[in-house]
Structure 1
Amino acid sequence: MKYFPIFLDVAQQPIALVGRGEAAVAKLRLLLKTKAKITVYDPAPSAQIQSWEQDGLLKTSKGGLTLDQARQAQLIYAASEDDSCDLQTQKVAQSAGTLFNWVDNLQQSQFITPAIVDRDPVTVAIGTEGTAPVVARAIKRHIEERLPQNLGALARIGQTFRSLAQALPLGRTRRDFWSSYYFSKGPGAYAARGGQGARQALHELLAEYQDARPKQGHVDFVGAGPGDPTLLTHKARVILHEADVILHDRLVDRRILELARREATIIDVGKTGFGPAMAQEDINQLITHHAAQGAQVVRLKSGDPAVFGRLDEELEAIAVHDISYSIVPGITAASAAAAALGRSLTRRGRNSQLRLITGHDMAGYAEQDWRGLAKPGAVAAIYMGKTAARFIQTRLLMHGADPLTPVSIIENSSSADEVIRAAPLNALTEALYAMAGPVVLLYGISPRTAAAQIFQNQEADLCL
């Protein structure tokens, strides 16, 4: 993030704008939404600017911006659409030490003005750091459609009610109360009976929440998908935003965790194969402890929670305490890996079954039906198979697998740093050389893409 978003208090503060053309008028339309004292510096202000002055919305000055005036201003905009004039304004602003914006010149500006959704006092600012104004406008339009037009009025009414709402328990109950008011009860009451109706709805809603039994804790087991945040399901996004506590795996993308509320407690309970790991019993205890306190808990697992995610063990732990739960599936790594290859996991005439297997389990390297896997046409997605690759390779060859059986190796599936390699079974371990990220092996499938790195045999050139 290059630009840090903040909200400046500009009420009754001087803002200077130098210019009179379309760029100046467009910027003034935005600035006039504030309560700032705006002065436009130009010898011949446009008719629109003069009209705003006649209405008492701003002042004009036919002289240039002086150093003293620049020092008094909180913000300065250069919008003359003349480079030499705007450069002079920039020099004055720099000498005064005042924040400066050269309209439509990102490189010469100290700050940028975002697209704004105005539901005063509720304000949504949307910025793309000047790279994609069209995207900012599209987001603005989407938010405009979703936020009630009377949200600002409801916010003012709600502010006067905050001391009474403190009678509700802090946290989830109080948050649900305000959510119900702003997005359900409040808009309807205001539309029907105005401000008085909205205030009455607050009192009725408070009585309803005070009489309600305390909400019990709940656990959502959520699949975070293979890595790419855009592959996260809509339901998972909604649940993440509502969570009080999130316990996540090591492989969950940081951008997905950014979807959580800032107030949420986020706990890393990640495991590393044959390395540092939190004990499963400790994870179970954390889940039950927070849920027992009435928290909305999300157990966030990479991929799909029901595929090698120890889901049953955690479900059994919360069942002892009679804690409610739901399971939100995610895209498992095998599906994302097959998509990266441009291949199907099943194909008529090739394989009538698909096996999802793990490279190691609680006892160490995991034994499988090697004889069945060694048969021609067998297909398997192998999770956590990187450290067990030599074991898997040896077992398959011992049971008669064709040494040239194709194996696709997908590292960091669906992520920007995704790597695809292909090798015959007899070159599997060499092909995994120097791969540090999480890997999925697709046994019996070769990539369609020509971009995959190919290892022909055990004597293959290992220079990457």
Structure 2
Amino acid sequence: MDHFPIFVQTDAARIIVSGGGDAALAKLRLLLKTRAKITVFAADAAPEIAQWHAAGQLTLVGRAMDYGDAVCATLFYGANEDEAEDARTAHLARTCGAMVNIVDNLEDSQFITPAIVDRDPVTIAIGTEGAAPVLARAIKADLEERLPQSLGTLARIGKTFRKASYALSFGRARRDFWRAFYFDAGPKAIAQGKDKVLPALESLLNIHLNKTAREGHVAFVGGGPGDPELLTLKARRALDEADVVIYDRLITPEILELARREATMIDVGKEGFGVHTPQEHINALLVEHAQAGAQVVRLKSGDATVFGRLDEEIDAVDAHSIGWHIVPGITSASAAVATIGQSLTRRGRNASVRFLTGHDTRGFADHDWHALAKPGEVAAIYMGKKSARFIQGRLLMHGADRHTPVTVIENASRVDQRVLETTLDALPAALEAAKLDGPALTFLGLAPRAALAAAPTIKIEEFA
């Protein structure tokens, strides 16, 4: 992040614009929405700028900017549309301590002006570090359509009521009150007229003051395979409401970013055959925070019900009479198999599919390897990289074809996803040579479709 987003106080602040052409006009149309004291320096200003000066909306000085003109200025915009003049005036502004923006010159600017969605006092700023202004405008247009014009009115009325809301305890009680206002009671009241909004606020506050606090609760949430766009709407809602998020090692930073900034984030990651958080400690954390009244999200990679030790955690919260619910997620096998253009089952090939975990080799010993070794069988093996040689040996011992296709998909659905295409007899050597270091799924009996332009694919020939 090269530009840290902040909102600058502009009430009575001094803002300087150097230039009087189209670039200056574009900035001034936005700046005039503020209550800043705006001064424009331009020897030849556009007629609109002269009109704003005549109306008292800004001060126009009919000459080029000179030494001392930017004293006490908070912001400076170089909009001369001339590289040399912009450099000269920006230097003058910097010597006076003003923050400098030069139009269409990201490298020499100290700040940038983002695309803005204006629902005053609700303001949404969209920045792309100057890399994609067209994209920023597209996002702005989308948000403009989604946010009602009445949002600003609700926010202004709500602002006057903030001190009254302090009667509610800090944290969840206040959040629940304001969520109910902005997304339910407020829109209903404003539809009947602005004069109905304040009485609706007072009534709502009375309801929440006499409301029994929500008991602690645990949501077991499937975080999907890693792509935040594959997260369900229900999962996103749970993250938005969580006071505490207890998450696994494979949860991506992009998904963690969706949690509230105020939420307590607890990493309980486990690494196969390596450092890990004891399950008993995770169980204790769930109970501790829920008993304290928190809304807890236990965020698991993929689907919480697949190889996630979910039953042990449910038993732990049940033992303390704590409420819970499950939010399903897209299991990694579903996301990974989509990458290679295959389906897990196909008429005439296999009517069932096995989900196995390579983490528990003791459980492997009791598996029906004879059935899995038959032609046409399909299995999705989670965490199977380190047990590849064991899997290979069991299958070959029970008569599996050495040339059975095997596909290993690392970091399924993520930007750094890789696909390893090999066969059963070459599986351990191929894995060792590929040096996959991310989470991977092994698909027995499936190969990428030949016509599919998939993510970067490593073929067995590379290791022959």
Q: TM-score, normalised by structure 2?
A: 0.93
Offset at 1:140? Answer: 1.9
Check conservation: 1:148, 1:187, Cα contact below 8 A. Answer: no
Distance 1:26 1:382, change over 3 A: same
When residues 95 and 212 of structure 1 are mapped into structure 2, their CA distance, relative to the original with a 3 A threshold, is closer
CA positional deviation for 1:87: 2.8
1:440 paired residue number: 441
The whole-number CA distance in structure 1 between the counterparts of 2:296 and 2:168 is: 21
Question: What does residue range 267-286 of structure 1 map to in structure 2 within 5 Å?
Answer: 267-286=266-285
Q: Deviations over 1:335-375 (max 9, x none)?
A: 12212212222222221211111113395755421000111
Cα deviations across residues 396-452 of structure 1 (Å, max 9, x unaligned)? Answer: 111111111111111111112111112211111111112211110000111225753
Amino acid at match of 2:235: A
Find out whether 1:180 has 2:168 as its counterpart: no
5 Å-filtered alignment, 1:416-427, equals: 416-427=415-426
Structure 1 position 189, deviation (Å): 2.3
How far apart are the structure 2 equivalents of 1:160 and 1:452? 59
1:219·1:296 contact (CA, 8 Å) conserved in 2? yes
Cα deviation digits, residues 165-224 of structure 1 (max 9, x gap): 222222212101011112321233244242x43221121111111222221222221111
Identity %: 55
- State the partner residue of 2:460: 455
Q: Aligned equivalents of 1:405 and 1:112: distance in 2?
A: 57
Higher deviation after alignment, 29-38 or 159-168: 159-168
Match of 2:82, as an amino acid?
Answer: D
Q: What SS does the corresponding residue of 1:74 show, helix, strand or coil? A: strand
User: How do 1:104-253 residues align onto structure 2 when only pairs under 5 Å count?
Assistant: 104-194=104-194, 196-253=195-252
What's the offset of the Cα at 1:382? Answer: 0.3
Distance 2:463 2:137 in 1: 51
Cα distance in 1 for residues equivalent to 2:185 and 2:376: 60
Aligned match of 1:83:
83
Aligned residues of 1:360 and 1:366 also touching (Cα < 8 A) = no
CA contact (8 A) 2:405 2:445 kept: yes
Q: Distance in 2 between matches of 1:191 and 1:377?
A: 62
What amino acid sits opposite 2:197 in the alignment?
A
Aligned residues of 2:222 and 2:329 also touching (Cα < 8 A) = yes
Q: What is the rounded CA distance, in whole Å, between the counterparts of 1:416 and 1:146 in structure 2?
A: 29
Instruction: Give the match's secondary structure for 1:423.
Output: strand
- Report the secondary structure of 1:445's partner residue: coil
Encode CA deviations 1:252-305: one digit per residue, 9 max, x unaligned: 001100011110011111111111111112212211222222221111111111
C-alpha distance 432-287 of structure 1, shift in aligned 2 (>3 A): same
Deviations 1:80-109 (A, max 9, x none): 223332232233234434221111222332
How big is the alpha-carbon RMSD for the aligned residues of Structure 1 and Structure 2?
A: 1.9
Distance in 2, matches of 1:212 and 1:142, equals 37
Does the Cα contact within 8 Å between 2:18 and 2:79 map onto a contact in 1? yes
The gaps in structure 2 that reach 5 residues or longer are: none
User: 1:113 corresponds to which letter in structure 2?
Assistant: T
Matches within 5 A, 1:49-68: 49-68=49-68
Q: Distance in 2 between matches of 1:40 and 1:191?
A: 42
The answer for the alignment partner of 1:406 in structure 2 is 405
Structure 1 residue 36, shift from structure 2 partner:
0.8
CA 1:152–1:362 in 2, change beyond 3 Å: closer, same or farther?
farther
Deviation at 1:378, TM superposition (A): 0.9
Unpaired runs of 5+ in structure 1? none
**Partners of 2:371 and 2:71 in 1: CA distance:** 80
Matching of residues 370-409 of structure 1 within 5 Å: 370-409=369-408
The answer to which of 162-171 and 390-399 deviates more is: 162-171
The equivalent of 1:353 in structure 2 is 352
* Residues in 2 aligned to 1:362 and 1:165: alpha-carbon distance in whole angstroms: 57
Superposed, which structure 2 residues align to 1:292-371 within 5 Å? 292-361=291-360, 363=362, 367-371=366-370
User: Is the 8 Å Cα contact of residues 165 and 174 (structure 2) preserved in structure 1?
Assistant: yes
Contact conserved, 1:358 with 1:366, CA < 8 A, in 2? no
Separation of aligned partners in 2, 1:359 and 1:220: 27
Which secondary structure does the structure 2 equivalent of 1:60 belong to? strand
Q: Distance in 2 between matches of 1:97 and 1:366?
A: 73
Q: Distance in 1 between matches of 2:209 and 2:128?
A: 43
Amino acid at match of 1:35: R
C-alpha separation in 2, matches of 1:59 and 1:367: 84
How far did residue 79 of structure 1 move? 1.3
> Could you list the runs of 4 or more consecutive aligned residues of structure 1 that deviate by over 6 angstroms after TM superposition?
none
Aligned residue for 1:70, secondary structure, equals coil
Q: Compute the displacement of 1:6 (Å).
A: 0.8
- The AA in structure 2 aligned to 1:161 is F
Alignment-mate amino acid for residue 458 of structure 2: Q
- What is the SS of the residue equivalent to 2:117? strand
- Aligned residue identity for 1:358: T
Q: Which amino acid aligns with 1:171?
A: G
TM-aligned CA deviation for residue 139 of structure 1: 2.1
> Retained in 2: the 8 A contact 1:359–1:383?
yes
